[in-house]
Structure 1
Amino acid sequence: MSMAEKISVTFPDGSSREYPAGTPLMEVAQSISSRLAREALAARVDGRLMDLNRPLEKDASVQFLTFEHEEGRQVYRHSTAHVMAQAVQRLFPGTRLAIGPAIADGFYYDFDPQEPFTPEDLAKIEKEMENIIKADLPFERAELSRAEALAMFREAGQDYKVELIEDLPPEVPISVYRQGEFVDLCTGPHVPSTGRLKAVKLMSVAGAYWRGSEKNKMLQRIYGTSFPKKAMLDEYLFRLEEAKRRDHRKLGAELDLFSIHDEGPGFPFFHPKGMILRNELEKFWREEHQKRGYQEIRTPVILSRNLWERSGHWEHYRENMYFTRIDDGDYAVKPMNCPGSILIYKNRLHSYRELPIRLAELGLVHRHELSGVLHGLMRVRCFTQDDAHIFMLPSQVKEEIIGVIELVDDFYRVFGFPYHVELSTRPEKAMGSDETWEMATGALRDALEARGLDYRVNEGDGAFYGPKIDFHLQDSLGRTWQCGTIQLDFLMPEKFDLTYIGEDGQKHRPVMIHRVVFGSIERFIGILTEHFAGAFPAWLAPVQVRVLPIADRHAGYARKVLDCLTGAGIRAELDARNEKIGYKIREAQAQKIPYMLVTGDKEAENGTVAVRHRTTGDMGAIPLGGFVDKLLDEIKSKAY
């Protein structure tokens, strides 16, 4: 094609422009705006990611990616990983390179050094990375034949790269990227040059098996992160420190909420104060579900192998289950509650007039998790799902899904959680026909659009028996957590031969929804603990008020105050120790107790209490009855 020939480039807003064939993507960006040219990191061309120095040879749709885009951040941080590998090779010649991908909020690179890295080495590597960035070395792509690539990396003594190349299918093209003297095996893309990278921080070093297998050699993995502005890096590091301060495992011990013991790894123990928090959440859950026509049930923890074979869990989920034998038969500890709900529905005939039937269960489930992924309450081996299963007519599907969406929205608003929604589609390992999956996925999409919710599609992440809507809530640190789920299921009713008697007197097949709101009570408590940094709203706080007499002679009135509070249903306790009042106040604040009531001579004489709030401090003296009324209103409204 002649350079004089023109090609048409179409942009995401639908506009298009003509350019000479062979125009580099960077020049296209520059023609739009100088700012875009400065901020663009890579481009998506007809759905394929490309470097900005690549020329356009034919008509194409082009989207430029900046750090604002997830893919742009990945390109930025993958490029930073290459710079880190270059710095390591400069400082530690002979180090063999493994892989270095971008990950959430950063990147890592696995190395096989002659000597283990030390914290001091990280500082040296970071300094050398800054030198490479200042040099503004261009990232240059080259495609090699298989033989050329193998010869290059064998000569360099890079055995891991050789292994990666040998494992590639013959038809896969092999590309390398060079910046300065450094060359790495990589599909790309990368930022135009190292100078595009600005604020870099190496975080830690850890061990990692080559290719994740404990049969292979243990490598050294250096984690890092990078941002286009120092202020963004500083904010990220601040959030990390704040996350450490809010770690629910640390706060769970300090506030005496729960513990995990060597005798039961992954099986949390809830202490009295933790049970108060848990019971309040469950009470709220029950009240809201009763309002919406749910009936609560309880199903067994251990059920026969035959049931799990019929449900498909034995085939699709067996590696996550626990097993036992009873009376020479095989049984499994339930990893999910749905088969139990199905058996209750199937226990008798149902008329179309009864539907929808909404069966809710706070069901304890057990799932086998590897010890390396266990994490406080966030990743455990037993947890309580706030499950519900709705059996309905096909004509009721859209209305019921919308009802669940509204329920989830109401729940998250109570805790102050914004959220986003994802629609997860058929996974590779799934039951049922394409037509059934398309029908179910379409029904979920219709409900989301009828409710006016923005959503993103999460391809291939549905359950093995149906597509799902996932709710990802955002906490006070901006982190997201997947909690609520709505799964539409046409398959389980078929497998268990579920029926109802229709208006025509014949048997028909119901449709089933699986859904959770909290997701896991244990995990939700962990999220809440970190979201509120242990300072729970008054309605959830294990202790809502601590009464603090100034001296021993004030203890009598303090006990009357305590009796008044507990008589009103307020969770209160008395600190009658012979300690200075300032010490008592500081300790109550450390325990995140919402209110402290100080009692002295004036308070005893006037029937008042001196009120202190854990964050706003001194609120002055008010009549005891007025304080009780105010706190009860705060509890009832679930103010946060």
Structure 2
Amino acid sequence: TTMRWSNRFLSTVLDVAKCQNVRQCSSSATFALASRKRSNTAVKTRRLKLFEEEKERQRRRVTDVEKIQVQYSDQPEHCTLIMNKMMSTPYDCARHVSQWVGDRAVLAEVDGKLWDMHRPLEGDVEALKFLHFRESDPFYVNRAFWRSCSIMLGSVLESAFKDRFYLQLCSFPAPNVRTGSFIYDVDLGMDWQPTKDELRVLSSEMVRLSMRQLPFERLVVPMVVALDMFSDNMYKSSQIPSIADAEKSDSITLYRVGEFVDVSCGPLIANTRQLGRVTITACYPIPIGEASGKPPLLRIQGVALPEGILMNHYSYSILETRARKMNEGRLPDPLQMQGEAQ
């Protein structure tokens, strides 16, 4: 069963060194040598600690509770909500309207601007609207969903290998539903060719993460703080200044889901439970650089449906087949490591 494979996966920690289909690669980079002394658990714990410290620092700056008016003009009725500036979120507003509105809301529109459901409101709102998966034009909702799937995949990958292999998440291209798959490019320090059973277990871990119903928490931090958080990841460390330059800002937008923290411009969906059916379908090597013996990045791909969107087995199998094809989305440039709007 899937659960039996999940237990086996977690207990053996993907002992790829014993698998015939894995080729261990050496790395000439000094960073890679140093990374052997790191552990995924220690890096993740430190990053989360820094995130929480910065969140608390920002919270302490809000010394007074200032009331704001939020105008809601959608179903089931128009109303004016009295909320707290820099504290209340669209999710709080939705729960005041009705539990039904709060449960189905994926994104918010705050005076016409896309807004994360758990992002604090910064002032009076003249028009608050909630977006859901059954919108007549789901373009923005679909992009947020695809982007959130990549973030969840990054979280699963960072946890799946535990401390056996030091994994560095690289990046994922801007979401494009037409490609047929969401992706994350990672550096495992080797050319890993997962079996069908290993991919199936990763799919199971995505479902487990979904079942935790974790919110996607947004936090904008100074670039120096972001660089400190990701000092153990050579890809993110290179991308962060480029992202700041592209946005003409000294700040970086981060998201937390559970114990996982990543860089993304957002917006993301409200919580992990809004992920429905999901399959991790393929893993492709991406050659990086010209140096011989340098391990490739791995492009790991998947396909998913939002919660509540049902599809028969045959139709979903067509989506899975398409998602197994190499996603030709923008490849990372290890030489320039330019930031992108993830």
Residues 150 and 90 from structure 1, CA distance in 2 versus in 1: closer, same or farther, beyond 3 angstroms? same
Structure 1 residue 113: deviation in Å? 1.4
Q: Which residue of 2 is the match for residue 95 of structure 1? A: 167
Residue 6 of structure 1: how far off its partner (Å): 4.3
In structure 2, the partner of 1:129 is: 206
- 1:416-495 paired onto structure 2 within 5 Å: none
Choose from 219, 240, 254 the match for 1:176.
254
Tell me what 1:150 maps to: 227
Q: Helix, strand or coil for the counterpart of 1:80?
A: helix
Q: Aligned-pair distance for 1:111?
A: 1.0
With over 3 angstroms needed to count, the CA separation of the structure-2 counterparts of 1:19 and 1:209, relative to structure 1, is farther
In 2, distance between residues paired with 1:196 and 1:188?
Answer: 16
Does 2:138 correspond to 1:72?
A: no
Question: Counterpart of 1:38 in structure 2: which amino acid?
Answer: D
The Cα of 1:159 is off from its aligned counterpart by 1.1
Look up the match of 1:237. 316
Structure 2 distance, partners of 1:180, 1:151, is 20
Aligned to 1:119, which of 185, 195, 198? 195
Are the structure 2 counterparts of residues 229 and 47 from structure 1 closer, same or farther at C-alpha, using a change threshold of 3 Å? Answer: same
Distance 1:186 1:72 in 2: 16
Give structure 1 stretches of 5+ with no counterpart. Answer: 245-371, 374-640
Give 1:122 shift.
1.6
The residue identity in structure 1 corresponding to 2:310 is A
> SS at 2:230's partner residue?
helix
Question: For residue 595 of structure 1, what is the aligned residue in structure 2?
Answer: none
Query: Pairwise mapping of residues 485-564 of structure 1 onto structure 2 (< 5 A)?
Result: none
CA distance in 2: counterparts of 1:53 and 1:233, whole angstroms: 33
Cα 1:144/1:117, change in 2 over 3 Å? farther
Alignment coverage as a number of residue pairs: 241
Instruction: State how far apart, in whole Å, the 2-side matches of 1:176 and 1:241 are.
Output: 30
Q: 1:28 to 1:21 in 2, by over 3 A?
A: closer
Task: Work out whether 1:9 is the aligned partner of 2:71.
Answer: yes
- Which of the numbers 22, 43, 55 marks the counterpart of 2:108? 43
Match of 2:118 in 1: 53
Q: Is the 8 A contact 1:81 1:108 kept in 2?
A: yes
1:370-385 mapped onto 2 (5 Å cutoff):
none
| 2:285 matches 1:188 | no
- CA distance in structure 1 between the aligned counterparts of 2:282 and 2:267, rounded to whole angstroms: 26
SS of structure 1 residue aligned to 2:266? coil
Alpha-carbon contact 2:115-2:267 (below 8 Å) kept: yes
CA distance in 1: counterparts of 2:299 and 2:309, whole angstroms: 24
| 1:78/1:102 contact within 8 Å kept | yes
* Aligned-pair identity (%): 24
Alpha-carbon distance between aligned partners in 1 of 2:181 and 2:216, rounded to the nearest angstrom: 20
User: Are the counterparts in 2 of residues 8 and 16 from structure 1 also a CA contact under 8 Å?
Assistant: no
- Cα distance in 1 for partners of 2:322, 2:240 equals 40
Q: CA deviation at 1:218?
A: 4.4
Which amino acid is the alignment partner of residue 135 of structure 1? Answer: R
Residue pair 1:9, 1:59 contacting (<8 A) in 2 also: yes
Partner of 1:63: 129
Q: 1:214 and 1:191 mapped to 2: Cα distance?
A: 39
Match of 2:49 in 1: none
Instruction: Give distance in 1, aligned partners of 2:315 and 2:128.
Output: 31
Shift of 1:190: 1.9
Find the aligned partners of 1:180 and 1:208 in 2 and give their Cα distance.
29
Partners of 2:234 and 2:321 in 1: how far apart? 41
- Alpha-carbon displacement from aligned partner over 1:259-307 (angstroms, at most 9, x marks no partner): xxxxxxxxxxxxxxxxxxxxxxxxxxxxxxxxxxxxxxxxxxxxxxxxx
Q: Does 1:161 align with 2:233?
A: no
CA offsets 1:560-597 (integer angstroms, 9 cap, x no match)? xxxxxxxxxxxxxxxxxxxxxxxxxxxxxxxxxxxxxx
Compared CA separation, residues 202 and 59, structure 1 to 2 (3 A): same
Q: Structure 1, residues 14-37: CA drift from partner, whole Å, max 9, x if none? A: x85311132421132234443332
What residue in structure 1 maps to residue 48 of structure 2?
A: none
Measure how far apart 1:233 and its partner are: 7.1
Classify the secondary structure of the residue corresponding to 1:74: helix
1:153: Cα distance to partner? 0.4
Q: Which of structures 1 and 2 has the larger relative contact order (alpha carbons within 8 angstroms, sep 6+)?
A: 2
Is the contact between residue 4 and residue 20 of structure 1 (CA under 8 Å) also seen in structure 2? no
- 1:449 maps to none
Larger radius of gyration: 1
CA contact (8 A) 2:230 2:236 kept: yes
Distance across 2 between alignment mates of 1:106 and 1:34: 32
Distance 1:235-1:64 versus aligned 2 partners, 3 A rule:
farther
Q: Which one is further off, 160-169 or 100-109?
A: 100-109
How far is 1:236 from its partner?
A: 4.2
Tell me which amino acid in the other structure corresponds to 1:97: L
Match for 2:146: what amino acid? R
Quote the Cα distance in structure 2 between the aligned partners of 1:53 and 1:193.
9
**Candidates 142, 151, 160, aligned match of 1:82:** 151
> Closer, same or farther in 2 for the Cα pair 1:174/1:191, shift >3 Å?
same
1:55 alignment partner, SS class: coil
Matches of 1:240 and 1:197, distance apart in 2: 16
Q: What is the TM-score with the length of structure 2 in the denominator? A: 0.61
Q: Kindly state the Cα deviation for residue 214 of structure 1 after the two structures are TM-superposed.
A: 8.8
The amino acid across from 1:102 in the alignment is: P
Distance in 2 between residues matched to 1:113 and 1:39, nearest whole Å: 37
Structure 1 length as normaliser, TM-score? 0.34
Q: Which residue of 2 aligns with 1:502?
A: none
DSSP-derived class of the 1:144 partner = strand
Aligned to 2:216: 139
SS at match of 2:102: helix
- CA distance in structure 2 between the partners assigned to 1:202 and 1:241 by the alignment: 9
Amino acid in structure 2 at the alignment position of 1:89: E
**One-letter code of the match for 2:100?**
R
- TM-fit CA distance, 1:97: 0.9
Give the alignment of 1:590-601 within 5 angstroms: none
Measure, in 1, the Cα distance between the counterparts of 2:312 and 2:152.
Answer: 18
1:336-415 maps to which residues of 2 (within 5 A)?
none
* Deviation for aligned residue 1:139: 1.9
Q: 1:199, 1:229 within 8 Å by CA — same for their partners in 2?
A: no
Mapped to 1, the partners of 2:200 and 2:227 lie a distance apart of 33
Deviation at 1:172, TM superposition (A): 4.8
**8 Å contact kept, 2:281–2:320:** no
Query: In structure 2, do the counterparts of structure 1 residues 236 and 60 end up closer, same or farther at CA, with 3 Å as the change threshold?
Result: farther
Distance 2:203 2:286 in 1: 21
Partner of 2:90: 25
* Equivalent position SS for 2:310: helix
Unaligned runs of 5+ in 2: 1-61, 330-342
**Aligned counterpart for 1:223 among listed residues 301, 322, 325:** 301
Q: Is the 8 A contact 1:42 1:52 kept in 2?
A: yes
Shift of 1:183: 1.0
